[in-house]
Each structure stands twice: as C-alpha cells, then as structure tokens.
Amino acid sequence: MSDTKMKKPRILPRKKKHKLLAAIDSKLKGAHVVDEVEVLGDKYKMRTLDPSEEAWADQHVRGDNFYQTARNRRAPYVAASLIALWEEPDEENPEGRWVPVEELFAPDTDDLEKYEEMLLQDETLHSNWIRSEVFEWLTDKDKHGPYVQELFAFYITLENRRNEALEHLDPLSRSHRTGE
C-alpha cells in the first residue's frame, strides 16, 4: 500500500455557454408547471421535472418487481420536484414565506466556505446534493409515507397539466424536407 495521498479531482469552473446553446436553453426555459398543494396542513410548492431530473429520480427507484418499483418511484420524484415549503407567519416573519429547499437543507459543516465554493462551481452537483437530502428526509423510516403518497399524486397532476399544455403548442420539431 502506498503512503502517498490521492489527489482530489479538480473541479473546473463552468465554461461560458456559446450563444447558440444559450438560445436553445432560453427556448426551453419555463417549460415547467409550478403549483402549490396543501397536505395534512402543510403547504408545498412543486414543479414538473426536466429529463435530467427525471433521470436522477429514476436512479433512486428501488424494487425487485413491478409493484415495488411503481411504489418506490414516489419519493425520488417528489424529492426532485419539491421547490419550497410554506413557513407560517410568526414574530420574525409576520407575513409567512416560501422557504426554498436549498435553505431547508443547508449543509451542516464546519468548513462551509470550501463546501460552497465546490458546489457553486458545479450546479449539477449542488442540485443532486439537495435532491438527495430531500429524498433522505422523505424516506427516513417511512414516517413521511402519507405525505409522499399525496405529494406524488399531486406531481402526477402537474405532469398531466404539462402534457395537456404541450398538446396545444406547435410541434417542437418540423421537417425541412423539400417537396412537401
């Protein structure tokens, strides 16, 4: 065994996007359906997922058969789609406010500066870390089962609303074949 220390991989800063890539991204921006729901007296704000977020959720689905897989799909999808929870008014916050999941699941670490620097350099790493924290909270001893079931049902209604809206849009791609 070598006593030399392994070097940590260097996280490079994000490269500035080319204007063509930025233009494509801007066309797709805002394609989420966002809404609020109340479950057992608590208010949640959720949104539909993009393909990369769905891929993250699918990676966290566990099950040996169709029934288990379908049932275990709920928590990862809720974790990825949850945006914020409503904080009721109090002395500190007389009007109440939506608390983003990034604030709810802030890291508990002594070396916060190093952590923030690392995550700020990689948006995907930060998003996946937050989703993982939400997922872990939702699946903790299955005590959030009733919440997860209701929130997943709400997520499905958001997906249905997005699909209905997309049916009324122009096709996302058109054929440029000649002679037609």
Domain ranges of the chain: 32-167
Residue 44 has pLDDT above 90, yes or no: yes
Q: What is the DSSP letter of 119?
A: H
Q: Which residues contact 98 (CB under 8 A, 6 or more apart)?
A: 45, 83, 84, 85, 86, 87
Residue 109 has pLDDT above 90, yes or no: no
DSSP for 65-87, please give it: SHHHHHHHTHHHHHHHHEEEEEE
User: Tokens at residue 67, please?
Assistant: 């029934």
Task: Give the confidence band of 161 by pLDDT, cuts at 50, 70, 90.
Answer: very high
Taking residues 109-117, what's their average pLDDT?
Answer: 66
